[in-house]
Amino acid sequence: MVPEYVTVLSPPNTGLAFDFDQVRVFTWSLKRHRYETAFRLHPIQGYLPIRTGFQLGPGGSNLPTFSFQIANGENLTADPATGVTRPASLRTINYVMFDTIVKRAGPDLGPIPVGHLEGEKPKAAKPGKQNRK
C-alpha cells in the first residue's frame, strides 16, 4: 500500500479572504514508479481544515476520502477576537479515491465556483509547435 497525498496551495499574496486556491492529489504510478498528479482543482477559494479519512467501498474495501470547504455566497463575517474574515456559511465538498481516480461524492454535488483574483490575468495558452518545411 503506497500513500496518496492531498495538498493545498495558496498564492504568494497576503491578506486574502481565503486559505488556499488550489487542491492537488498525488498518487503512485506503478507504470512509471513515481508520484503523479491524479487530481487538480484551481482556481478556487477554499478554507481550512482539510479532512481526510476512509469510507467503505465495494467489496468491503476502505477507500480514501478527503473534503474541504468553500464559501456558500458572498456574505462575510469577522471574528471579533482575531479579526479574521470568513464566509458566513460554508459548503463542504467531498471526494473519494478509487485507485488513481478521484471522484466527487457526498450530498453537495453542486457546481464549484472557479475564478481568478481581481487584477490577476489567467495564463495564456502556450502556442503549439509549428511545422517548418
Residue 23 near residue 39, CB atoms below 8 Å? yes
Q: Which domain holds residue 56?
A: 5-105
Q: Report pLDDT for 79.
A: 81
Query: pLDDT at residue 122 above 60?
Result: no
CB neighbours of 99 closer than 8 A, spacing ≥ 6?
27
Q: Report pLDDT for 12.
A: 86
Task: Compute the average pLDDT of residues 49-74.
Answer: 90
95 assigned to some structural domain: yes
Render pLDDT for 10-50 as a digit per residue (tens, 0 to 9).
Answer: 988 877 888 899 999 999 888 899 999 999 999 898 998 99
Q: Report pLDDT for 132.
A: 61
Number of H helices, E strands in the chain: 0, 9
44 assigned to some structural domain: yes
Q: Report pLDDT for 26.
A: 94
113 assigned to some structural domain: no
89 assigned to some structural domain: yes
Mean of the per-residue pLDDT values of the chain: 85
126 assigned to some structural domain: no
CB neighbours of 29 closer than 8 A, spacing ≥ 6?
35, 36, 100
Residue 102 near residue 95, CB atoms below 8 Å? yes
pTM: 0.78
DSSP three-state, residue 46: strand
Total count of domains within the chain: 1
Secondary structure (DSSP) of 70-99 = EESSS-EEE-TTT--EEESSEEEEEEEEET
122 assigned to some structural domain: no
